[in-house]
Amino acid sequence: MKASVPGREVTGVEVVPQVAEVAAQALDRVLVGDVEDVVDRLPRRHFDCVILADILEHLRDPWLTLKRLGEAMQPGAAFVASVPNISHWSIIRGLIEGEWHYQDEGLLDRTHLRFFTKSTIRDMFEQAGWRVLRVEAVSKQEGGGVPPSWVEELQRAGVRAHRLVQEAYDYQYLILGCYPGDASCPLPRELASIVLPCCNGVGYTRACIESIFAHTDWPFELIVVDNGSRDGTARYLCDLAATYENVRVVTNKDNLGFGVGCNQGMALARGEYAVLLNNDTVVTEGWLPRLIAHAQADSQTGIVGPRSNWVAGLQLVARTSYGSDLAGLADFAHRWQRTNYGRRRYVDRITGLCMLVKREVLQRMGGFDPRFGIGNFEDDDYCLRARMAGYSVSIADDVFIHHFGHQTFIGQRVDYSALMQRNWQRFCRKWGIDPASPAGCSAQEILSRADQELLYVPLDLKQALRSNGEPLPLWPRDDFSFLVFPDWSDPSSRWSVILRSFCRAFAPEDRVCLVLRADPTEVESMKSVVRAVTEEIEQPGFDPNQIADVVICDDGLGWEDLCRMFRAASAYVPSGELEEGLHRYQAALYGLPEPPGVSPDALRQMVPPELLSCA
């Protein structure tokens, strides 16, 4: 410690005089005696760190000693302490069998005067005025395994036995924190920023957040992005932010999609790690420290994900003992962690239900690509870009979280398979993959040929959604153009109503056009689109040759060209499309107005009189 920082002062307290003599050769000062007796001899408001290594369990009154020790600490000083866990299974089993034998060392060291569990350790520090920031467990399995039948019987008897399983093999705890004094503790370097986007599903959101606060022994801030919820989520989040100082809420008027919501949260994140988490998940004991441990174990690791019950690919745990009964989740997750402790595997991709991303990755790559809209394949794209940047992606096999699965999409009545197909097409178009033959293009081939400019996506929405290019020249620049994004397969889409109103509102001589975006990922062919548009025009008796111009944009526009389409348009007309929220946000960035309705009069009112043949 002294060698690493010149001029650093280290004071020691040692009860054995002979050991104190050896310590005095290295330290600046050594006080000889029991710490309970010499603590008042320490200078006041002097130290910026204290290490309590296997000390507190030997003291007569550790609670009072911690209070007195606080008087020697500078405001904001750090502390590290190690304390044995008396609720280790070997002790519990011995008690059940009537055994409690003191030993020369270990948990029942005959010099131990006080005994603690994980919760009472935290309580002791906080009652003495110290703030606990993190608790880590050192595991050691002794005394056999906890019989599952015992746990079941205890639960049937009304005993909350989940901690018995969770802490059964925690041999010792390492506690880290600070002494606030008259100052606030500085944000630790390894703060984790948990980003939680949600859209309705307030029950799932509440369950997820409650599990975060119950099972996260790591300093964290929680950033919740509400994507236009209409079900009471806003009120719940407002109360949450008023209750917890480490909670911040971002509120969007409309649903901007999973990727964009995550980007908004990551833009606010202050931590060394950003953890992107679905709102329909339930985390378990030790989830975050274990994810971070895997990220720290390899400097090349940029993204880490857990195992789960509802997830694609290698992250899936096909069979879980708890089924749909979350009462057994904690026990299963603890057994899973113990069985797979320290295991991880390197993969091409992980899914976005829970992704830990290092700060340096965010700085290098930015956020999710907004071209994937409401969700799906933005996580595949992010993992691919991370690997292009030289980072590895890994699965933490010893972390398990529960996932209810697709609840946001279900709540919005989204055709999940159709959405997957749409975004798969977008993913292929971006990376030059033949969607009909994906096996013909390996990941290594993409990594070697991909444009490095595709790596970075700005977290700032205005930068990510705006184009600096010229307006897209697909129609006369001096025309007034209405931009519409139909969902061609959705019978509830208003595009046909908009089309007919446009035909009634304008004559062929009017310098007005209706621009219909025909995304090739959504339709079988352009022939089917042209046929559908023609039928909607002819059915009311309109002559296609006697209406104002209707422009159908198809040619597989890339993201940049799509943004240039907004730049070229004069107005945006929502048609109830799946990605309406994102389109509305983009239109606002370009200053595009929306009509007050889709009637012929509402559309005509938007067009300058000089562009109409009959004002």
User: What CA–CA distance (Å, rounded) separates 204 from 427?
Assistant: 29
User: What CA–CA distance (Å, rounded) separates 289 from 286?
Assistant: 6
Three-state DSSP class for residue 180: coil
Q: Which residues contact 524 (CB under 8 A, 6 or more apart)?
A: none
- Encoded tokens for 162: 């989940």
Three-state DSSP class for residue 602: helix
DSSP string for 506-555: --TTSSEEEEEE--TTTSS-HHHHHHHHHHHHHTTT--GGGS-EEEEE-T
pLDDT at 134: 80
Q: Which residues contact 235 (CB under 8 A, 6 or more apart)?
A: none
Three-state DSSP class for residue 418: helix
pLDDT at 156: 79
For residues 485-505, average pLDDT: 88
Whether 615 shows a pLDDT value over 60: the answer reads: no
Nearest to 70 by CA among 131, 133, 2, 135: 131
- Residue 101's pLDDT band, with cuts at 50, 70 and 90, is very high
Residue with token string 């002494």: 179
User: What CA–CA distance (Å, rounded) separates 452 from 467?
Assistant: 19
Whether 157 shows a pLDDT value over 60: the answer reads: yes
Higher pLDDT, 253 or 141: 253
User: What CA–CA distance (Å, rounded) separates 551 from 557?
Assistant: 14
Q: CA angle at residue 260 from 417 to 351, to 5 degrees?
A: 50
Segment 209-246, tens digit of pLDDT: 999 999 998 889 999 999 999 999 999 999 999 999 99
Higher pLDDT, 530 or 108: 108
Go through 243-277 and write b for each residue having 16 or more CB atoms within 10 A of its CB, e for each that does not: eeeebbbbebebbbbbbbbbbbbbbebebbbbbbb
User: What CA–CA distance (Å, rounded) separates 430 from 124?
Assistant: 56
Cα torsion 163, 189, 55, 293: sign: positive
Segment 132-153, tens digit of pLDDT: 888 888 888 776 777 878 877 8
Contact 595, 584 (CB under 8 A): no
Whether 440 shows a pLDDT value over 60: the answer reads: no
Determine whether 402 is exposed, middle or buried from the number of CB atoms within 10 Å of its CB (0-12, 13-18, 19+): buried
Go through 422-450 and write b for each residue having 16 or more CB atoms within 10 A of its CB, e for each that does not: bbbbbbbbbbebeeeeeeeeeeeeeeeeb
Determine which of 256-265, 323-332, 426-435, 602-611 has the lowest per-residue pLDDT on average: 426-435
Backbone φ, ψ for residue 559 (5° rounding): -60, -40
Contact 217, 134 (CB under 8 A): yes
Q: At what angle do helices 118-127 and 62-70 cross, to 10 degrees?
A: 40
Q: Which residues contact 251 (CB under 8 A, 6 or more apart)?
A: 226, 234, 237
pLDDT at 386: 93
pLDDT at 14: 95
User: What CA–CA distance (Å, rounded) separates 62 from 58?
Assistant: 8
Three-state DSSP class for residue 384: helix
Segment 41-93, tens digit of pLDDT: 999 999 999 999 999 999 999 999 999 999 999 988 999 999 999 999 899 98
Task: Give the CA count within 13 Å in the CB-facing half-sphere of 510.
Answer: 24
Higher pLDDT, 582 or 488: 582
Backbone φ, ψ for residue 229 (5° rounding): -65, 150
Contact 135, 121 (CB under 8 A): yes
Contact 546, 458 (CB under 8 A): no
Task: Give the CA count within 13 Å in the CB-facing half-sphere of 363.
Answer: 7
User: What CA–CA distance (Å, rounded) separates 549 from 19?
Assistant: 93
pLDDT at 412: 59
- Residue 470's pLDDT band, with cuts at 50, 70 and 90, is confident
Length of the chain (residues): 615
Backbone φ, ψ for residue 527 (5° rounding): -60, -40
pLDDT at 401: 97
Element (H, E) at 362: helix 359-365
DSSP string for 393-443: EEEEEEEEEEE--SHHHHHTT--HHHHHHHHHHHHHHHHT--TT-GGGS-H
Mean pLDDT across the chain: 88
pTM of the model: 0.73
Please, where are the H alpha helices in 58-141?
Answer: 62-70, 89-96, 118-127
Backbone φ, ψ for residue 313 (5° rounding): 80, -150
Nearest to 85 by CA among 174, 172, 168, 161: 172
Backbone φ, ψ for residue 475 (5° rounding): -155, 165
User: What CA–CA distance (Å, rounded) separates 538 from 293?
Assistant: 65
User: What CA–CA distance (Å, rounded) separates 398 from 131?
Assistant: 28
Segment 165-200, tens digit of pLDDT: 778 888 999 998 889 876 666 655 589 999 999 999
- Residue 345's pLDDT band, with cuts at 50, 70 and 90, is very high
pLDDT at 266: 97
Q: Taking phi first (over 0 means left), then psi (-120 to 50 degrees means alpha), and beta for anything else, what does residue 473 get?
A: beta
Three-state DSSP class for residue 437: coil
User: What CA–CA distance (Å, rounded) separates 402 from 329?
Assistant: 8
Segment 349-402, tens digit of pLDDT: 999 999 999 999 999 999 999 999 888 899 999 999 999 888 999 999 999 999
DSSP string for 304-359: EEEEESS-SGGGB----TTTT-GGGHHHHHHHHHHHTTT-EEEES---TTEEEEEH
Three-state DSSP class for residue 173: strand
User: What CA–CA distance (Å, rounded) separates 567 from 470?
Assistant: 8
Q: At what angle do helices 233-243 and 202-215 cross, to 10 degrees?
A: 20
Segment 263-321, tens digit of pLDDT: 999 999 999 999 999 999 999 998 999 999 899 888 899 999 999 999 988 999 999 99
